[in-house]
Amino acid sequence: MRSCFLFFLLLAGTVSAQTADFSHYQRLVCQGPIPADFITPSTQLYQQAKTGIDRNSRHKDRKTQDEFYLESSFSLGRLLQSGRVLFGDTVTRYLNRIKNEVLKDQPGLRDSLRVYTLRDDEANAFTDNSGIIVVTTGLVAQCENEAELAFVLCHESIHFKKKHGLKIYSEEQKIKNESGIYSNLGGDQLEESAFRYDQSMETEADLEGLKLYLHSGYTLKALESVFNVMLYSYLPFDDIKFSNRFFEGDGYHFPASYTLDSVKEITGPDDYDDSHSTHPNIKKRREAVLNLAQGLSDEGKKNFLVSEPSFWYLQKICRYEGCLLNLHRGHYETAIYEAYLLLQADSDNFFLRKTIAQALYSISYEKAFTGGKRLYEDYRKMEGQQQQVYYLLYELNATEMNVLALRYAWTLHRSHPEDLSLRDMCHRLFNDLTQEQEKRPGDFISFDSSALTRQDTMQKTDPDADVASHNNLSKYDKIKFKKAAASKRIPDNTNYYQLAFSSLLKDDSFHLAFEAAVQYAEHFEALKDRYKKERTLIKKKGYALGQNKTLVVNPVYIKIDARDDNPVQLMASEKAEYHLLDKIDEDAGKAGVTLQTLQPDMLSSQETDRFNDLATLNDFMDESAEYSFDNRLNSSYEAVQTLSKKYGVTDITWLGVLTRHNKSNFKPGYFCLSIIYPLIPIIIYEAVKANRETFLFTVVVNTNSGAVDMKYMNIVKRGDKNAVLHSNLYYIFKQLNTKRPPAHD
């Protein structure tokens, strides 16, 4: 009895120690000292990695190995310093405990591996040649038990142990150069050979990983279910019916045509064509693993060995994290549906409802200003219950979407008036409604929604039935009652969305906000003229932001030599980046700007809070760059405002340099975009042909408004000489510091 009591006491302690405020959920952040993996310069990572080159191999093979270690070290460095990879957090600590459990009989392999968590909504895991295993939050969100995660870690451990990354890279080079056994093959045969080789590595990782797994105490049943996780990972983490009624009420109902008769059935075929895939199809992988485990006893095996309470808690954490990530990536319909799924267990959760408000606002912005061109997913492709969400939001036109978003956001704002971003969201939606959709309060109907009747609404109230129930009234009272009921019937030509604010219009604060937006809209044309004059003035006399201090975030330097087979000069770029920091300090000082800099590989191991700040700012910049710095409300806006107060600045600056030496027929397509920071693609397409040229760019964001105060881009048809860099950097900081004199009539 005493042992049972202690067990439940420990269980309760485990859960309570991990309690989070899910109603005000905050993104996962790193904890504890920063590991060397995250702050070691990529050049140093490469120097360490290249000691693994086989000195007894042929010169050509040694060169291939050297190229692999160079590229993989810099790719790893960029990923770890992006802020998307977590260390020391609760998810990472838990994953490392599972790794230690499955490899407890392999101490050498166990100690060579470090597991980190990647904030990404896709279910995935991968391994680096240095011994780093990265597991996504999306995978943890999809898994149903600890044993499934254990098998994935066993699989990834074999990739490291067998050096699969290096082997695949080496084989790809042979195929690319059509050397050895590939010398007599054609294009299609070469491509098929590459896929077959990749698949053989995956099969080996499955089967050898299974041997590690079988030595643990985890159940064999997970060997079946883990492949279901992989098969259906393209779907949300659950499949629950969504009804449009979630958004309806107070007389506001969508037309019946906005509901699908049936949603598309979930297919998920496991025997798909894998001839052009790096992985064998799920059926092959599942059968190979189950055949090897056939006949083995599952007695005493368990789904959980480390901690069942921790798993359920962290699965929930990762599902909430998915809401943030879907907003950040622009997957707004998925954000709404997954928040809806989580609301089934916590119907009043403010974070989830705010997630939906942000997603609705973003879709409304898309429809108003881009025609919805950036809404990526076609509802026809969706499977399962999520399809209804996609269909509804696809059917709504810009006005309907604006109305829905404002109705939902204002209702939430009314119950949480302290939330500043919700207030800003409502303000923007009011402005869009009055300016872009040209709607006024008189375009909407204000009635007691409980008495509203209409022939084609879902509420089929019959006023005659009400009269019949009053047979004891006099003839005159019956006539009076019938006229009163008829006066409350909505005209049949009324658009359904005109009823969206039927009760809100009685709210004085809503009505005042609406009227304020109307007044602003009526002066909008004059304001547009003023903004046009300001832009003209900027072109003539510069930005003149009037700020004498700023925070510079992770300056970028990319050196490209198009004459080289590997045009991005990785080590030279990193070296130039360090020199750029010195130039930034010097020129900011000359321009009278007080400077703070956030640079990941310049942090000490104890500056974890600054590393987390960098991650937040990178999230903000990634999302802004994704939408070409338009005027939408960024999902990281609140967090960036908090950081601006922490660092005592109004403006935050991102800047960088791209220099390139071209060959005569060089085109931007030669750039490997996957290894360049988010702003670089913009630079590449802006640049023009020249033998040598230097491109400098700066984005300055005003944290009070979230708007871009400065977007400076300059191409110089010269190399990156000191004079070129200093003159541009000084100009940037001088524009930041200069105050524009008051205009005179």
Residue ranges of the chain whose pLDDT lies below 50: 1-18, 454-469, 665-677, 684-690, 744-745
Residue 193 and residue 71 in one domain: yes
Domain range enclosing 547: 542-737
Q: How far apart are CA 433 and CA 516, in angstroms?
A: 12
Domain assignment present for residue 678? The answer is: yes
Q: What is the pLDDT of residue 183?
A: 61
Residue 478 and residue 589 in one domain: no
Buried b (16+ CB within 10 A) or exposed e, 273-304: ebeeeebbbbebbbeebeeeeeeeeeeebebb
Q: What is the pLDDT of residue 678?
A: 53
Domain assignment present for residue 156? The answer is: yes
For residue 558, give the H/E element and its range: strand 556-561
Contact of 734 with 707, CB cutoff 8 Å: no
Q: What is the pLDDT of residue 374?
A: 59
Domain assignment present for residue 482? The answer is: yes
* CA-based nearest residue to 86, from 143, 132, 29, 135: 29
Q: What is the 3-state secondary structure (H, E, C) of 645-668?
A: HHHCCCEEEEEEEEEEECCCCCCH
Long-range pairs, 515-523, Cβ under 8 A, ≥24 = 515/441, 516/430, 517/427, 517/430, 517/431, 517/433, 517/434, 518/434, 518/440, 518/441, 520/431, 520/434, 520/435, 521/431, 521/434, 521/435, 521/438
Residue 484 and residue 546 in one domain: no
Q: What is the pLDDT of residue 194?
A: 81
Q: What is the pLDDT of residue 179?
A: 65
Tell me the Ramachandran region of residue 377: left when phi exceeds 0, alpha when psi lies from -120 to 50, beta otherwise. beta
Q: What is the pLDDT of residue 745?
A: 45
Q: What is the pLDDT of residue 304?
A: 98
For residue 28, give the H/E element and its range: none
Q: What is the pLDDT of residue 743?
A: 54
Contact of 444 with 500, CB cutoff 8 Å: yes
pTM of the model: 0.88
Residue 192 and residue 68 in one domain: yes
Q: Could you give the angle at the alpha carbon of 176 between the alpha carbons of 174 and 177, nearest 5°?
A: 65
Terminal CA-to-CA distance of the chain, rounded, Å? 88
* CA-based nearest residue to 401, from 258, 508, 521, 518: 258
Domain assignment present for residue 343? The answer is: no
Contact of 556 with 599, CB cutoff 8 Å: no
Domain assignment present for residue 47? The answer is: yes
Domain assignment present for residue 191? The answer is: yes
Residue 574 and residue 703 in one domain: yes
Name the maximum alpha-carbon separation found in the chain: 110
* Final residue in a domain of this structure, among 285, 306, 327: 306
DSSP assigned state of 565: S
> In total, how many domains does the chain have?
3
Residue 595 and residue 729 in one domain: yes
Residue 477 and residue 546 in one domain: no
Neighbouring C-beta atoms of residue 643, cutoff 10 Å: 22
Q: What is the pLDDT of residue 493?
A: 57
Q: What is the pLDDT of residue 174?
A: 82
Structure tokens, 43: 């050049």
Q: What is the pLDDT of residue 671?
A: 40
Domain assignment present for residue 356? The answer is: no
Q: What is the pLDDT of residue 651?
A: 94
Q: How far apart are CA 593 and CA 610, in angstroms?
A: 21
